[in-house]
Every structure is written in structure tokens, then in C-alpha cells.
A and B are shown apart, each in its own frame.
Chain A
Amino acid sequence: MFLFQANSTALFNVADLQLIAPELILTVCACLALVMEVILPYRKSKLVAYFSLLGVGLAFVSLGLQWWSVSDSLPLDGFYGMVRIDGFALLFKGIFLVGAALAIAISTRYLDIEGEQHGEYYTLVLFATVGMMFLACGYDLISLYISLELMALTFYVLVAFTKREKRSNEAAMKYFLLGAFSSGILLYGMSLLYGIAGSTNLGEIGRSVATIASATPLGEAAGPSLRPMLLLGMIALASGLFFKIAAVPFHMWAPDAYEGAPTSVTAFLSTGSKAASFALYARIFIEALNSMRADWAPMLGLVAAITIMVGNWAAVTQENSKRLLAYSSISNAGYLLLGLVAGNSYGYTGLIIYLLVYTLMNMGAFGIVISLRRRGIIGDNVDDMAGLAQKAPGMAAMMTIFMLSLGGLPITGGFIGKYFLFGGLLQRGAAEGKTWYYWLAGWAIINTVVSFYYYIRFIKVMYLGDRIADDKPLSLSPALQIALAVSVAGIIFIGVYPQPLINLTQKLIAPLAAIGAVAVK
């Protein structure tokens, strides 16, 4: 990075600020929200939530304007290569903003019931979103790491937000310790990469890695091969990121953190944070390490296969719905990894669509769990949904759609996402002539049947029994209902008519897919 600085005349280009307009808007809103919290009386602190929603909306509008104005001239680099705006970044930012809006909408009433309605909550959510958005557009190890930490630190606080509750504190502690540990490993990998490439810019690293990876160990004049070091760096990076996306064998923190955290935070953690980590994963492994595909693809494939299995089988026995959804999110991380393993247009399309749909359906599912949290009723056991079909048919129907979509049944968005993920694997297998891609796809798809077993359990308790868990009405706020309705509508729309979304995604990720699609022997 410093190398570039020497060549340029101006130190700071004001026009670059346009590139990060959505993030700037969010940051300003977050700061204002913090001030509002101090000024407003406690019972009005819900206004902060609406203000934050407004901020997310503004950021979304600015993102849309950005896409509209620069979509022909992508990618745009700024801040001396620290930030790169391309289709990939725009898509991910869109997903984060949708996730943040839903997270805020499902939080308002929940925090009331928990007695923790503080404005800081929304500030933290906004800051986490800013971190995620920079993760999507960072193009330099330093900017990426800082954004990752911004996101992670806010989440440590958010997980502990119900500070009077033991479980929440315990979860935060576990999450913090393991998260800090994984950040360390990640940083170690980054430092190795910097040592090899002599630059923190991903593009530069990509070029150096390409020369090292292609050099044969024998017949080299310039000293010992750097390949072992490169492999070590790659493995350290991959492991650090496995922590972040909760892939096996680094998934242990997820069930505890998800169960203990306030449900609204769990919802955001399992969607936004996971999506952001995938953005980072894709960025580093595609832009910087693509020439090492032959090394990392089998590793990611193996981890994906194990993650899918462990997540699904462990979820089968869970009684607590938050814990169950935590294991389901572990297995979903495995499915998402398949997109990276495939690494072609289908794979990336699948990754992005599945992340978007996953955000919608997981938010929705947690939204239903939240509506079961009432005064005096925790409501986070699967059994608490018994008879929901008779008590609240609309909610039960929506939960059914979320569950079927999580499993990947056709006419829901989940099917479209999985369709592309599996299609990408088959395509890659045919392109490289390797059969293990087919076996991986077969393994993953057979495991979806297992996942249906536990998703169906929700449907079973809601519909098939005659017993009703309790007569108390659900705690619903207009914001929560709107969030759920939007999620259902999105899932069904993507499932029935995915054309616009696929078209947009494929167009925006085309450059990235072109890098990934180069077959490596």
C-alpha cells in the first residue's frame, strides 16, 4: 500500500468519499442515534429504532444510486486500492442492509419485553453493518481486517446485551474468547501473505501468489521455494475464517453463542455476520489465492462435507429452537462453502442468492421465535410452537414457508440457491474432469433430507398435534409483522420468479466468476 502512495500526487482524493457513501450515511446515523439515546427519555427510546431503520433505508437508496450511476464503469478503486467497489461488493452490501433492516424491525418489541430497550443497541447494529459493508468492498488486508474487527467487536457487545442474564454473558464470553483467537489466526495468515507478496493489496498478492504457485520447486534460482509458507498462510487464513462462518471443526462456539444471545442478536449474527465472513472468504480466496485453487478447493470441499453432516445430524436431537437453528446455520455454512468450492458463475450465483434467501428465512424463523417470547414465557423451545396453527394460523404458515425454504423445497428461494450451488459443483466437476465434485454434491444433497427431518419438526408441532402450548397471544409488533411478511414475500418471489435476481447477480459477479472459472489442473 505504501508503495503506491509514493507514486501518487494527492494524499487524499475527496471524490473517493462517493465510493463509500452508504457506509458514511450509516456511520453518521449511528452517531446520531447514540446522541438521540442520551437526549430522549427512556420510554421514547424506540424512536432510535425507527431512526436507525431510516438510516438503513437511506444507505440502501444511496447504494442503489451508486449501482445506477457506476454500473458501467465497475470496478472502481479508491483510497489507494484500500477499497474496491464492484458488483460483488454491491450485492453483498445489499444483503447486509436487508439483514440490518430486518434485524432492527424484529428487535423493537423483543427488547421491550427483555427490559433492555436502549438506543445503543441500534447504534451497535448500525456499526456492525458498517463493518460488514467494508468487508464486502475492502481490497486490502488492512482495511479488511479493521472492518472485520469492527463487526466482531460490536457483536461481542450485542451478544451480551441482556446484561442481567447469565446465559447472555456466558455466550458473549465464549464468543469473545474464540472470536479473538480466530482473529489472531487470521491475522497470522495475513502476515504470512504480506511477507510473501510484499503488499497488502489483494490484487498484488494475487499476482505474486500466481508466480509462486506456478513456479516449479526445482530449477529455481532465487533460493528456496515459498510454497510451504504460502500453504501455511492459506491454511491459517482458511482456519480463521472457518471460525467466523462456524464451519466444523471450528463450530463449537456457535450453538452456545446463538442460544445465549438475545434472539434478535442471534438472528443478525447468524445471517449478517455469516454473510460478511463469506464476503471476506470469497474476496481473499478468489482475488488473492485463486492460483492455489488446486490446493484449497479439496480442503474447503472436505470441510464443507463434514460441516454439512455434523450440523445436520447434531440439529436432529435439539429441543431448543435457537440451538436447533444454530446447528442448522452450521450446516448452511457448509452448503455456502460449496459455492466457493465450485468457484464458477453458478457457484457464486448460488452463494449470493442463497445468502440473501438465507438472510430472509433465518430472520423470519427467528422472528417467529421472538414472537413467542412473552412476559413470563421464554418460548424458545420447539415445543412452545405446539398448536400454533390453531392459535395463529398466519404465523404458522409463515414458519412453514421458512422451514421448507431452509430445507430447499421448490417454489421457495432456498431451492433456487441450492440449485445453483449444486449446479456449480457439477459444472466444475465436468470442467476439471474430477469425480469428487460429483460425490460432494451427492453427499450434500443427501444430507438435505436429514435437514428436512428437523425442519419438519417445527411443522409437526405446529400442525399435526392437537395440543396447544399456551393460550397467551403472541407478542407481535407492526414492525415484526412487516419484517416477517417481507421475508415470506421475498422467499416466495425468489422461488417462483428468480429471473431478475439471477440475471442481476450473474451480471454483477461476472468478473469474479471469470477469475474463478479458470480451470486449475
Chain B
Amino acid sequence: MNSLPILSIVTWLPTLGALIILVLFKQGQSDQIKKFATAWFGVAFVASLALLKYDRALGGMQFLEDHQWIPVIGARYQMGADGVAVLLIVLTTLLGVIAALSSWNYIQKREKEYYVLLLLLQTAVVGVFTSMDLFLFYLFFEVSLVPMYFLIGIWGGENRLYAAIKFFLYTLVGSVVMLLGVLKIYFLTQDTALTGRITQGTIDLLAGNQQAAALVSSTLQAAAQNGTGTFNILYLQSLGSVMPMGAMQVLLFFAFALGFAIKVPMFPFHTWLPDAHVEAPTAGSVILAGVLLKLGTYGFYRFNIPMFPAASADESYFFAGTNHQFGVRSIMIFLAIVGIIYGALAAMYFVVKKDGDVKKLVAYSSVSSMGIVMLGLFALNPNGLNGAVLHMINHGIYSAALFLLVGIIYERRHTRNVAEFGGLSHVMPGYAAVFLSMVMTAIGLPLLCVFISEFLSLRGAFEANPMWAAWGALGIILNAGYMLWLYQRMFFGTIDNPKNEKLIDLSAREWIYMTPLIIMALWIGIYPKPFLSYIERPVNAVVRQVRPTYPIPGMPPGVDVQQRAAAK
């Protein structure tokens, strides 16, 4: 184990900052508070950079921490991160700094509470990525709702009360149903008939390295001593390999999937997202799009797919015995594709609508984008999963950037109506350039980050079923359509609205927080290898867990775990 509990530090540092603000600053000192909070976010970001020394050749869960917490129910304070989590954590902390910087002018009331909540939100979100204990994960997952509720509800737009409660209740429905799944799977770890069939090979595969595997066995020992089950995520994933396919696994899959699907959000659970985005303050949107949505896709990657591999890969559970081929995976793929197309069409509608809101457009484009992530995930092959995970990061970069850009123009004009703008490139050339770079990123121009991840996701989908890839590609074409159309309507042509004549271009502060996002978009687009190398090994392990015999480049051919267990 590491001498320095780096994951705990990264997780709890923001909370410490929130406490400092609560205790040391007074309500009136808004200037000091915002500077302090931003600096503190910077510190948290720098601290999280230490995670980049994640050993990519070793793979698996690293930076492990393990402490006793509630032994009577088998819950432990266990932290660990694989390459996927590392990238998402760094993305979160980076967006934290940017969100704080972008709020300096935007937030004009109750600044103290605002920055306290922003910091607490970061703890909750980072905690979701760092937990290696399902109970701990669930706490962070659900608590993350509360700060976001306040951020939307206090500093949001006109309809903020409605949007805040809708956001809260919608996402709550999913997570309470998930609680039943959490409880059930915990009881399953006490079912010796089931756990007896778990092989060490499975645990080693999912743990990825010696230390993590050792942690699992020490956790199991402690649980056996107390006569409890365990919440260790690696062990739960291993349990998945021996869980019989049937009603129980399918129900458990959906209990978890509902919680995550609402977070993602997948069609038809997406309706909270446009409302929340439109009403949320810019920083809220940045965190919401950049990070909170990833809690859902990350959940699918971390829990649903490895924990219920048979259900995830299933294509014939429903209508069994008939000619129809329809299973759990078919539902997920279907909803993902509908989400891609629907999100894109809805976004396009907001370009032409008379009072089309740019923020709503970006929100719907997120629905479409997250559909691509889901399509990649449920392609269940190395290309698809790698692409999907990378797309989570990329979407965090470009959608955050787009929301920031929308926020910038909103601060100047107090409207986000597409029809109000036109010819902006004449008065705000810098802004137009940055916006163009992000639009190009969003539509997947080669050499920009989204191209890589969309290409990989769709290639994975193609390997699974060419039709899926075809539908996904249609969504991408629509994406390009409305993004370019939007850009044309806002930035080209002449300025026909006198209010737009005297707009100021980007300020130094705005350049500062936009630059890292542009650099990241270019870097991942031109040379994605460093990023892919973080996610490759953990992702391939998941593929191997779900489809033991699927050929994975760079890994020895696998043996069916079920067969292996049977042979034993």
C-alpha cells in the first residue's frame, strides 16, 4: 500500500477547503472567498496530478487504501483507482478549477455558500471515482445530488425551482432502486454455494495486479471473521462471473442500470437534463455535463458490465423460445441508438426554433453524445469500450467548453437565444475562434479528440453489428449538421442586432480557463496514445470478464470462466 493516501487526499481536500471557507470567511468577503476557493481548487488539481504516475504497464487498481469502517455490515473504507478512474478524477479536478474561475462574475449573490457547495460537490464526485467499496460508492453517489440541487436551485435561472426538484427527484428514483440492488448483491456474497465457485483467476484478472488481489483476499478474510458479506467492488465483479443467468441477474442488472441510465441520461430518462442545464449557472452546467453525467457511464463500466456479464451480453432473454432475438443488451443498444438520433434531432430543432436556447441545444447534444458512449460500452469489445471511455473524457472537455462559451455570451448579453445573435465573429474574433475549435471538436473533426473516441466507439459497434454502427454514424452526421448550422447562425453574416455591436472579446481570465480545454482537445486528437494507455488494460480486463473467449490484442487467449469453474 502507498505510504501517502493520495486518493483520500484528492477526495477530501475540497471538503477541507469548504470547512475553511465556512469558518474563516464572512459572507461579505466575496472577493477573498472566490480567490481562495479558486486557489484551493488549483491545489486539489495539482494534488490529483500525482495520480498520473499510475503504473500503466501494471494496470488494475492502484493507490489502494483500506481501513475498517462498519465491520458489522462488511463495509470498509476502501479506495483504489484504475486508469479510467484516474483520468476521470483529473478531469474532475481540472473542471473544478475552471468552474470556479468561470463563476467570478457570474455569481453575484451568496458567494460563500456557492463556493462551499462547489467544493463539497467535488468531494462527492471524486469520491464516486475513488471508492472501491460499493457501500462507500453509494454514499458518494447519492450525496452528490445535494450540492447540485442547491447550485441549480439558488443560483439558477428563472425556472430554477422546478429544474432543481426535477433533477433531484429524477436522479433519486434511480439511486434508491439501486439501493435494493446493492443490498441484494451484498447478501449474495454470503451465499457460499455461489462464492465457492469464484476462481482466483477471475479475481486476479479483475484486480489486475498483485496488491489489489491481495487486498481482495484480506477483505474476504476480515469478512469471514465477522461473519459478514463484503462490498469490495473487485470481489463483486468476480461474483458476476459465477452468477447464473436468470431473472435475478436481469433484475439486478436493471436495478443498477436504472440508477446509472438516469444519470447518463439515456433516452427516455433524459428529460431532466435540458431543464437542469438551462437553469443551472454556468459552473453548474460545466460540472453537470463534464462530470456528473460520467457518474452514470462510469457506473455502467465499473458495475453493470463486469458485475452482470451474462445479462450485459445477453441478446435472447426476453421472448425466449420464440424467433425474436431480444435481450438485455438489445434494450441497452436500442436506447443508446434512439438517444443518439433523438438527441441530435432535438438539438437541431433548437437551432431553427424561434426562441431556441443554445444551452438547451448543447444539453441535447450531450444526450446524443452519451448515447455514443453507451453504444461503445455495450459493443462489449476492446475497441468499443476503449472508445467509450475515452469519449467520456472528451465529452467532458468539449461540452464543458461549450457551456463555458455559452456562459460567456450570456454574461454579456443576458440571453442565450440563437436568433438574437448573428455576425458575432466581427466583434468577438477570439471568442469566435474558440467557439469554432469546440464546434469542430464536437462534430469529430480528425486531429481533434472526439474523432478518436467516436471512431473507436463506432468501430467497436461495427465489429459487434454493422447496423448499430450505421445508426450511430447517422447520429454523428446530424451532429455535424446542427453544430455547423448553429455556428453559421451565430457567428457569420452581418450584425443585424444592434445590441451585439459593442460586445467585448474574451478577457484574460476567460482565455486562461478556455486554453487548457483547447490544448487537451488537440492533444488527445493528435496523440491519444498516452490517454489510451491509461485505460487500455483495465478496459480489456472488463471485456475479458464479459466475453472470456473474445480475442483481445496483447492478451493471451482466454478460457471461458464458467468452463474453467466447471472443470475445477
- Residues on A close to B: CB < 8 A? 404, 409-411, 419, 422-423, 426-427, 430, 438, 441-442, 445-446, 448-449, 452-453, 456, 460, 463-464, 497-499, 502-503, 506
Q: Are A445 and B176 closer than 8 Å at their CB atoms?
A: yes
Q: Are B172 and A441 closer than 8 Å at their CB atoms?
A: no
Contact of B138 among A410, A497, A506 (CB under 8 A): A410
Contacts of A453 in B (CB 8 A): 165, 169
Q: List 17 A-B contacts (CB under 8 A).
A: A409-B146, A411-B143, A422-B179, A426-B183, A438-B180, A445-B176, A445-B180, A446-B173, A448-B176, A449-B169, A452-B169, A453-B165, A453-B169, A456-B149, A460-B165, A464-B164, A502-B70
Q: Are B69 and A499 closer than 8 Å at their CB atoms?
A: yes
Q: Are A419 and B179 closer than 8 Å at their CB atoms?
A: yes
* Given contacts A404-B146, A463-B154, A506-B72, A446 and B161 within 8 Å (CB-CB): no
Q: Kindly list 20 other residue pairs between chains A and B, CB separation below 8 angstroms, not including A423-B187, A464-B161.
A: A409-B142, A410-B138, A410-B142, A419-B73, A423-B186, A426-B183, A426-B184, A426-B187, A430-B187, A442-B177, A445-B176, A446-B177, A449-B169, A452-B168, A452-B169, A460-B165, A464-B153, A464-B164, A499-B70, A502-B73
Kindly provide the distance from the CB of B245 to the nearest chain A CB, expressed in whole angstroms.
18
Whole-angstrom CA separation of A427 from B69 in the bound complex = 23
Kindly provide the distance from the CB of A379 to the nearest chain B CB, expressed in whole angstroms.
23
Contacts of B180 in A (CB 8 A): 422, 426, 438, 441-442, 445
* Given contacts A449-B176, A506-B72, A464 and B160 within 8 Å (CB-CB): yes
Q: Are A445 and B177 closer than 8 Å at their CB atoms?
A: yes
- One digit per residue, 1 when the CB lies within 8 angstroms of any chain A CB and 0 when it does not, for chain B 123-138 equals 0000000000000001
* Given contacts A427-B187, A446-B177, A453-B165, A503 and B72 within 8 Å (CB-CB): yes
Contacts of B164 in A (CB 8 A): 460, 464
Kindly provide the distance from the CB of B226 to the nearest chain A CB, expressed in whole angstroms.
10
Q: Are A423 and B154 closer than 8 Å at their CB atoms?
A: no
Let me know if B150 is at the binding interface, CB within 8 A.
yes
Kindly provide the distance from the CB of B175 to the nearest chain A CB, expressed in whole angstroms.
9
Whole-angstrom CA separation of A455 from B154 in the bound complex = 17
Q: Are B177 and A460 closer than 8 Å at their CB atoms?
A: no
Closest to A495 in B: B139
* Given contacts A404-B146, A409-B146, A419 and B71 within 8 Å (CB-CB): no
Whole-angstrom CA separation of A408 from B139 in the bound complex = 11
Whole-angstrom CA separation of A207 from B472 in the bound complex = 68
Q: Are A499 and B71 closer than 8 Å at their CB atoms?
A: yes
Q: Which B156-194 residues have C-beta < 8 A from chain A?
A: 160-161, 164-165, 168-169, 172-173, 176-177, 179-180, 183-184, 186-187
Contacts of B179 in A (CB 8 A): 419, 422, 445
Whole-angstrom CA separation of A188 from B268 in the bound complex = 54
Whole-angstrom CA separation of A419 from B169 in the bound complex = 19
Q: Are B70 and A497 closer than 8 Å at their CB atoms?
A: yes
Kindly provide the distance from the CB of B143 to the nearest chain A CB, expressed in whole angstroms.
6
Contacts of A411 in B (CB 8 A): 139, 143
Kindly provide the distance from the CB of A352 to the nearest chain B CB, expressed in whole angstroms.
14
Whole-angstrom CA separation of A438 from B160 in the bound complex = 36
Contacts of B186 in A (CB 8 A): 423
Whole-angstrom CA separation of A404 from B139 in the bound complex = 13
Q: Which B446-505 residues have C-beta < 8 A from chain A?
A: none
Contacts of A445 in B (CB 8 A): 176-177, 179-180
Kindly provide the distance from the CB of A351 to the nearest chain B CB, expressed in whole angstroms.
16
Kindly provide the distance from the CB of B398 to the nearest chain A CB, expressed in whole angstroms.
31
Whole-angstrom CA separation of A448 from B173 in the bound complex = 9
Kindly provide the distance from the CB of B420 to the nearest chain A CB, expressed in whole angstroms.
27
Q: Are A456 and B165 closer than 8 Å at their CB atoms?
A: yes
Whole-angstrom CA separation of A463 from B146 in the bound complex = 12
* Given contacts A410-B142, A410-B143, A452-B169, A446 and B176 within 8 Å (CB-CB): yes
Whole-angstrom CA separation of A153 from B69 in the bound complex = 45
CB-CB nearest 10 A-B residue pairs: A410-B139, A464-B153, A423-B183, A445-B176, A502-B72, A499-B70, A410-B142, A449-B172, A449-B173, A426-B183
The residue in A446, A449, A502 that gathers the most chain B C-beta atoms within 10 A of its C-beta is A449
Contacts of B176 in A (CB 8 A): 445-446, 448-449
Whole-angstrom CA separation of A422 from B138 in the bound complex = 15
Contacts of B168 in A (CB 8 A): 452, 456
Whole-angstrom CA separation of A419 from B142 in the bound complex = 14
Kindly provide the distance from the CB of B126 to the nearest chain A CB, expressed in whole angstroms.
16
Whole-angstrom CA separation of A181 from B424 in the bound complex = 77
Whole-angstrom CA separation of A422 from B186 in the bound complex = 12
Contacts of B173 in A (CB 8 A): 446, 449
Kindly provide the distance from the CB of B294 to the nearest chain A CB, expressed in whole angstroms.
20
* Given contacts A442-B180, A502-B73, A463 and B187 within 8 Å (CB-CB): no
Kindly provide the distance from the CB of B68 to the nearest chain A CB, expressed in whole angstroms.
8
Q: Are A409 and B183 closer than 8 Å at their CB atoms?
A: no
Q: Are A463 and B150 closer than 8 Å at their CB atoms?
A: yes
Closest to A457 in B: B165
Whole-angstrom CA separation of A442 from B143 in the bound complex = 21
Kindly provide the distance from the CB of A481 to the nearest chain B CB, expressed in whole angstroms.
19
Whole-angstrom CA separation of A498 from B69 in the bound complex = 9
Whole-angstrom CA separation of A404 from B150 in the bound complex = 13
Whole-angstrom CA separation of A73 from B73 in the bound complex = 26
Whole-angstrom CA separation of A238 from B169 in the bound complex = 34
- One digit per residue, 1 when the CB lies within 8 angstroms of any chain A CB and 0 when it does not, for chain B 64-102 equals 000001111100000000000000000000000000000
Closest to B142 in A: A410
Kindly provide the distance from the CB of A107 to the nearest chain B CB, expressed in whole angstroms.
31
Whole-angstrom CA separation of A452 from B184 in the bound complex = 24
Whole-angstrom CA separation of A411 from B173 in the bound complex = 18
Contacts of A503 in B (CB 8 A): 72
Contact of B161 among A419, A426, A430, A460 (CB under 8 A): A460
Whole-angstrom CA separation of A423 from B69 in the bound complex = 19
Closest to B141 in A: A410
Closest to A390 in B: B110
Whole-angstrom CA separation of A456 from B153 in the bound complex = 11
Kindly provide the distance from the CB of B249 to the nearest chain A CB, expressed in whole angstroms.
14
Kindly provide the distance from the CB of A409 to the nearest chain B CB, expressed in whole angstroms.
6
Q: Are A422 and B72 closer than 8 Å at their CB atoms?
A: no
Whole-angstrom CA separation of A410 from B186 in the bound complex = 17
Q: Which B242-277 residues have C-beta < 8 A from chain A?
A: none
Closest to A430 in B: B187
The residue in B70, B164, B183 that gathers the most chain A C-beta atoms within 10 A of its C-beta is B183
Whole-angstrom CA separation of A426 from B229 in the bound complex = 15
* Given contacts A411-B143, A499-B72, A463 and B183 within 8 Å (CB-CB): no
